[in-house]
Each structure stands twice: as C-alpha cells, then as structure tokens.
Amino acid sequence: MKTKSLVLLVVLLVVSSSASVFAAPFDPDTFVYVGGAGGPHTLDPAAAYDTASGEVIHQVYDNLFEYVGGNLDEIGPQIATAVPTVANGLMSVDGRTIRVPIRKGVKFHNGAELTPEDVRYSFIRGMLADTAGGPMWMFFEPLLGVQTMAEVIEMAGGSGDFAEISEVDPAILRKAHDLVAATIEVDGDDLVFHLVDAYPPFINILTKGGSWASILNKDWMVANGAWDGNPETWSNWYDVAVEEMTAYERANGTGPFKLTVWDKSGGQVILSRFDDYWQGPAKIKTAFIKYISELSTRQLMLRAGDADAIYVGQEDLPQTRLLPDVKVVEGLPQITNTVLFYSFTIPVQGNEDLVGSGKLDGKGIPSDFFADVDVRKAFNYSFDYQAFLEEVAHGAGVTPKGPIPQSLPYVNPDQEYYTHDLTKAEEHFKKAFGGELWEKGFEVGIVYNTGNNTRKTALEILEFNIESINPKFKVNVIGLEWATVLDKLRSASLPVFVMGWLMDFPDTHNFAVPFMHSTGTFAGYCGQGLIDLAKAEFDELVDAGIKATDPVEREAIYYELQKRYVDLAVGMPFMEATTHRVMRDWVQGFVYSPAYSANYDFYTVYKVQK
C-alpha cells in the first residue's frame, strides 16, 4: 500500500513540475483563429458563396481592386494599377466599357507571373462553370443582363430548361460560349469589360472581399484538369459537383498566403506565408483557421494562448468580456438587415399548424391574411424595436428605416419608419378586413428556425404585444428545424418568418433586388401576392436604379423605393446588426471591413507580447 502511494505521489510531482513544459509558448509567427462549427464549402472562387469559404479565399487570392484600409468609400487598385472612372478615361461615359490596366511582376504561389489572360480566364471560366446556387450571377447580370448560364444558353437560341447540358445542341453551346467570351477581352496589358448596361457597383463586385472575383492562374488550372479555354468543350465543366471542381481543395493564387492544407477531417485550414508576395511578405508565417463547435473549448484555447482569436456569438459576449488578457472589439458595422417577412398568399391545406382553420373565424387566418396592408401595418406597429435592440441585441446594432441598410448610399435619412405604437396598431387591426378581423380575432403560427434564440425572442415580443391588443388575437411562436423551414419557404407556407441578408457588394442594388424585386430571393417565399405587388410597385424602379449612372437620379429612385416599401409595409426590417471580434490583447494590426468574409486579414495582423 505504501509503495503504491509513493508511486502515485512521484507521478503527481513529475506531472505537476512539467506543467510549465505543457504551457503554450508565445509564438509571434503563428496566428490561430478558431471559428465555430462548419468550415469552407469549397475553395473554388467560382462556386464559393459562404463566409467560411470566403475567409480562406481572402488570404490566398487577390482581386483587381481593394478597399483601402477596409474602408468601403475608398477603392484602390490591387492587381489592377488604376481604378477605372470616367474621369481617368478608363470607363466610357455610358458606363458600358471598362478598361482595367493589369499590374506586372505579380507572381502566383507556383512562381508563374500573372498576365491579363489569367484574369480574363478566371472570370470567363467562372461564368461558364456556373454552379447552381453559386455567386456568378454577379458577373452575368452586369455583363449579359441575365442571372445564369442557362439563361445565356437561351440567349443563344436554346432552351434554358434542360435536364443535362449534353442534351443541348453543340452549335448553341458554342454560341453561348461566344456570348460569354465576348464580354471580357485582353487588349495589350489591359483587360476590357463590355457591360450590357451601366452597372455602377461593377467595380465593387471585382473588389477584395468578393471571393468570386479572385484571380486564378490559367496554366496551373488547366494542368490540374480545369477547362483549357476550348470553346467546344466548356460544357464538360458546367455546373459539376463542387468537389469535382479544380480549385475545390487546392489553390494557386497571388495572395499573401499559400494554402498548405485543408484538413477536412481535422476541421482546420493551414496557411503559410508567401514570401514573394508582390506587396511584401506578411508578418505572420503560419496561420491556422480551426473550426470547433463548442464555445467553452474555444474560450479555453483563447485563455491558454493556443488561440489568438475566436468566434463568439453576440449572446455569449458578456461572459467572454470577463476573460483576462482578451480584447473584444465591438460595434463593427455590418451591411446587413434582419427582416420579418409576411407571406401574401399562404397555402391553407396541409398548413393547419400555422394557419389553423384557414378562415377568418378566430381560429386561424385566411390565405390572404397578410395581403391586407392594415394587418401588415398593425404587425409593424406592434413590435417593440427599442426593447429588442437594447435588451435582446444588447445594443449591437441600429433599427433600420427600411430594407436598405443605413450605411449604404442613397438611403433617405429622413424616411419615416414604424415605431412601437400599440394605439396605431389597434387602429390598423380595426380597419383590417373591413373590421371583421377585430370582431372575430385570429390565430397564427409565426416561425423561427430552432437554435436562433435572438429571432425567437423577437417573435415573442411581437406575440406579447399583439395578444395584449385584443384577447381574440392569438399568436403562436413556433420553432422549426431549418430543413422544415426551407421546405415551407419553398412553398411560401410560412405566414411570418425572419430572415437576414448580408451584402454581397456594398451597393443599394444588392438590397433592393432581394427585398423588393419580383424575382428577388425573398419574393418567391412570400407567395404570388407579393410577386404581383412587386411587379406593380417595385420592379421598374429597381431596374432603373441599377442602370442609372447619375447619382442624383439614383438617389431619387432609391428614396422612392424605400418610401413605397415602408408605406406598403411589405415587411418589417427590425435590425441592422453590428458585429465584434474577440482576440488576445497581443494581437495587433487588426483591420476590419464590412466587405470581408474573413474575420481577420492575416496579411495585416501580427502579435506583440504584452
């Protein structure tokens, strides 16, 4: 017994004394960012359209332009040598021809020198590869006035509704290729874009932060199995599964970091410094992006110094602020909007859990419940915006004045918006359905996706206020799994739902389309009623807004769009959230830009021991 105790004591002493050996030493050459669950979807810029993918692509590739210091108001050249404007003669007066001089002496990670043809290939190949649900619509829209490659095939005389692209006549495929190929040409050391119409934010689409506009090395891509530029064969690479795309898990960019490995099973990406980077090497030699779902584990890693920065959700920020040697940078502006949507035409059959009886009888709602503008206005007046902002969002954001975030240009600062006013809500409820609604009451299910407690609380605020107006009003807050939400969105079966939109590029148009256009992302989820309304009230103005090159004209258009949206109470925008970053206090050189998918630009960060 004594021997056993002695052995145990010795082991304990040895282990205790070696605690200092285990402690993570400060390493100024390595930066570790630990994100939440998940990871990149793909590293191919032509298909990547999520922030985790964009985070890696940001470090590995360059774009033609960049936001100077992350500031959205100032665009500077990156791989280009100048930013085209009408004033410097690189943009035609009608905005349809844009010439971009390409920088010389820029090297790819494999040592090859970048040429204008690499830039052209990157964009043409991206469009021809157009993956379902991918980001290339941002090229199609300005360059060809369509949204997808299938629509280009239609332009070429084919049918866009094909099951397999191999069914399409090769002559039409060739013509479709030519249409795409003609949009960008190489002219000496310049690249020339031919736009179908003026498109003011086109330069933004090509600017750093837009992973879709990353520049690839043509020869390297072709050597690794990508399309070789042959106009007859492009369809072999059209809309293939993302994992079959050439740059899915390998990369050869001109960015400050090389992709060392994307360790999918280990949930991490390792990047190493590119010493020949044309702007000079980064201060950090190695960067890790790790994906760990458990917050406590991330926090412990930050405390131990194994992580330099971690992801923390807004709701967990209070406890994180208490961690020693950690700095929390808060109030970082985002260009985003969270909106409560109403479905104008709700299917009744099979949707009883949300619409009850499907009639205006106090036990449900009719299909056209939210088609009545007074119902929508009453809902909008019932929400306590201030309480939500202060008590739920902990002040991390502002209340919007419409669907366009206030930090974008052409937002009317004097636009009147809804406030929490139960008297006005009552007035509108009394007017709705000719007074019948007030007499009979209603019962409706309003939905959030489970796990999103902020949205749940927002809906509970609405529930509480509406039910306090009339005892015959019954609102049920229902949590559904994301898969079910998606299914019901597709059939526009959700009477009320909450959804956010984070910008692709910082322009008003990027919010006007999804929120107001009849072909926008959200119109389809809100029923035919909203599509019809959008066609009548918004489409013409939205289309005019993007074609207008005169800022005064654009301002007038977008002011009018916002006014109509608010007057018609199409939805209830209720939160423009700010964001934050949590890092060790030794992290320096942090540059933030709302345009970046990357939480940290590894090129600028470095570490100084305190």
Residues that bind another protein (CB under 8 A): 15, 19, 22-24, 30, 32, 37-41, 49-51, 132-133, 135, 137, 147, 163, 239, 241, 243, 260-261, 263-268, 270, 286, 288, 292-294, 296-297, 300-301, 303-304, 306, 449, 452, 482-487, 489-491, 499-502, 504, 514, 521
**Cβ of residue 24: shortest distance to another protein, in angstroms?**
7
85 or 293: whose CB is closer to another protein? 293
Tell me the three state secondary structure of residue 485: helix
Paired tokens of 235: 């369809």
> Is the Cβ–Cβ distance between 580 and 328 less than 8 Å?
yes
- In terms of CB distance, is 418 or 497 closer to another protein? 497
Nearest to 253, CA basis, from 287, 211, 282, 290: 211
Strand pairing category for 268-273 and 257-263: antiparallel
Q: How far is the CB of 105 from another protein (least distance, A)?
A: 29
Residue 289 Cβ vs another protein, minimum distance, rounded to whole Å: 11
Reported as type and span, the H/E element at residue 509 is helix 509-516
Here the tokens at position 120 are 């052209």
Nearer to another protein, 30 or 71 (CB): 30
CB 381 to another protein: min, Å: 25
Closest to another protein by CB, 108 or 501 = 501
Q: How far apart are CA 309 and CA 292, in angstroms?
A: 12
Residue 222 or 323 having the CB closest to another protein: 323
Q: Where are the alpha helices (DSSP H) in 305-415?
A: 317-321, 352-355, 373-382, 385-387
* CB nearer to another protein: pick between 302 and 432: 302
Output the smallest distance, CB 265 to another protein, in A.
Answer: 4
Is residue 382 within 8 A of residue 464, CB to CB? The reply is no
CB of 151 to another protein, least distance (A): 12
The DSSP bridge pattern shows strands 336-342 and 571-584 to be antiparallel
Pairing of strands 496-502, 326-333: unpaired
Listed in sequence order, the residues at least 6 apart from 46 whose beta carbon sits closer than 8 Å to its beta carbon are 125, 126, 129, 130, 131, 134, 135, 136, 212, 245, 247
Q: How far apart are CA 275 and CA 267, in angstroms?
A: 26
Could you give the residue ranges of the DSSP H alpha helices within 315-393? Answer: 317-321, 352-355, 373-382, 385-387
- For residue 339, what is the enclosing H or E element? strand 336-342
> Which is nearer to another protein, 254 or 449 (by Cβ)?
449
CB-nearer residue toward another protein: 115 or 272 = 272
Nearest to 212 by CA among 128, 144, 137, 270: 137
Nearest residue to 465 via CA among 343, 395, 379: 379
CB 580 within 8 A of CB 329: yes
C-alpha torsion sign, points 454, 455, 461, 463: negative
Closest distance to another protein from the beta carbon of 171 (Å): 24
Q: What residues pair up with 603 in beta bridges, in sequence order?
A: none
Q: How far is the CB of 395 from another protein (least distance, A)?
A: 22
Work out how close the CB of 372 gets to another protein at its nearest, in angstroms, rounded to a whole number: 26
Please measure the distance between the N-terminal and C-terminal CA atoms of the chain and give it in whole angstroms.
48
**Shortest CB 141 distance to another protein, Å:** 10
User: What SS3 class is residue 589?
Assistant: coil
Give phi and psi for 269, each to the nearest 5.
Answer: -125, 135
Q: Whose Cβ is closer to another protein: residue 161's or residue 414's?
A: 161
- Residue 64 or 513: the one with the smaller Cβ distance to another protein is 513
User: Which is nearer to another protein, 474 or 584 (by Cβ)?
Assistant: 584
Q: How far is the CB of 448 from another protein (least distance, A)?
A: 10
Q: Which CB atom, from 33 or from 234, has the smaller least distance to another protein?
A: 33
Closest CA to 543 of 522, 518, 568, 578: 518
State in angstroms the smallest separation of the CB of 528 from another protein: 16
Residue type, 475: V
Token pair of 447 as six digits: 């939905």
